[in-house]
Amino acid sequence: MTGTDQTQSPVPHVRCGVVPPYLLERLATVDDPRFEAAAEAARRSLRLDGPIRNLRVERRTGVLPTPRVRAVPGHPTRTISDAGQLQQLPGRTVRTEGQGPVADVAVNEAYSGLGDTHGLYWSRYQRDSIDGRGLPLDATVHYGRNYDNAFWDGERMVFGDGDGEVFNRFTVSLSVIAHELTHGVTQYSANLAYQGQSGALNESVSDVFGALVEQYAAGHDAQSASWLIGAGLFTEQVQGQALRSMKAPGTAYDDDVLGTDPQPASMDGYIETDDDHGGVHLNSGIPNRAFYLVAEAIGGNAWEAAGQIWYDTLTGPNLTATADFAAFAAATATAASIRYGTGSAEHDAVLAGWDGVGLGFDPLQAAS
């Protein structure tokens, strides 16, 4: 491996949930008989998430763990477990690599989603699993009672079943599965600190590759893709398409219960807050929009040139763990220049994309 993949040793002890805490907090306060079960489920989910959320910003030292089993390069090793609505991990093993589908749709969705994510990283970026060294992919479904989230805990994917009133089961969305697994890729590469702008970049990178895995699996190019993160998570009772829109941050939902999607689409709307580790789920809309603009300008399949530039940036030597938006933008421009050439269409698209969200910079400095 190259760049930060080769040299990074501190590993964050993380638990990164796909549903922002501000959304669950809003739902937890709803006083509406129609959503009584959903409000209680949100309160339970917040109590469950709360004690661990602060651990995201901590570090534990030591070398990266060695894979338990060295898989055949390029082939995933998946294990799906069932928590049986308890909060004990990993749960009972219900499907392992090479076994056929089972009766439980959540098990099959998790198994397929892990495979689709592994498939994109290997086929397009030659990355062998999350750590680049064939790490087995583990997941647990049916975690907790009506748990309204899915998370990567530093070792495995964990999926709740949702409350059935606002949220469906969390295995239903491939972009969610790939988003959470990409937190693991970030953990083993740039290790972006989960605070402020570096934390928003951590979230954005997960959204980027969550969208790319979904597009790759469906064969959708940049023009035809939805650019939604978490499509299908909301029930029909919610006025909304998804948790987030990369194409148009701030438009994913507009609901009388959940409120309006608060994500800004440019630096003009940047949100200064102490909540959610400095607004990591809010301000991630800005780099999300920048990536969409880059992919749109380049055209074709977003997982090719645009995705390659972002992957090179995440795993290369020019990104520090505390990078802010400006530093990340400059690093993507450098990555585009190295791979495609300064002044290439890809390099110009990167410069224009960041300029489109209010983060323009000197292209000569970015290429140096």
The span from the CA of 349 to the CA of 299, in Å, is 10
The CA-CA-CA angle for residues 309, 242, 351, to 5°, reads: 25
CA 353 – CA 262 distance, rounded (Å): 21
C-alpha span between 364 and 368 (Å, rounded)? 6
The C-alpha torsion from 115 through 116 and 117 to 118, rounded to 10°, is 50
In terms of C-beta density within 10 A (0-12 exposed, 13-18 middle, 19 or more buried), how is residue 131 classed? buried
Pairing, β 16-17 against β 254-255: unpaired
Strand 259-260 relative to strand 254-255, pairing: antiparallel
**Two tokens, residue 112:** 């397929």
Q: Which residues contact 264 (CB under 8 A, 6 or more apart)?
A: 249, 250, 270, 271, 282, 283, 285, 286
Outline where the chain has alpha helix (H): 4-7, 21-28, 36-53, 105-125, 174-187, 196-218, 276-279, 285-298, 305-315, 325-340, 345-355, 363-367
- In contact, 15 and 56? CB cutoff 8 Å: yes
Q: Can you spell out the DSSP letters for 62-111?
A: SPPPPPSS-PPTT---EEEEE-TTSS-SS-EEEEETT----S-HHHHHHH
| CA distances, 262 to each of 124, 211, 248, 249, 286 (Å) | 33, 20, 11, 8, 12
Which residues have a catalytic role annotated?
180, 281
CA–CA dist 188, 357 (Å, integer): 28
β-partners of residue 245 are 228
DSSP state of 266: S
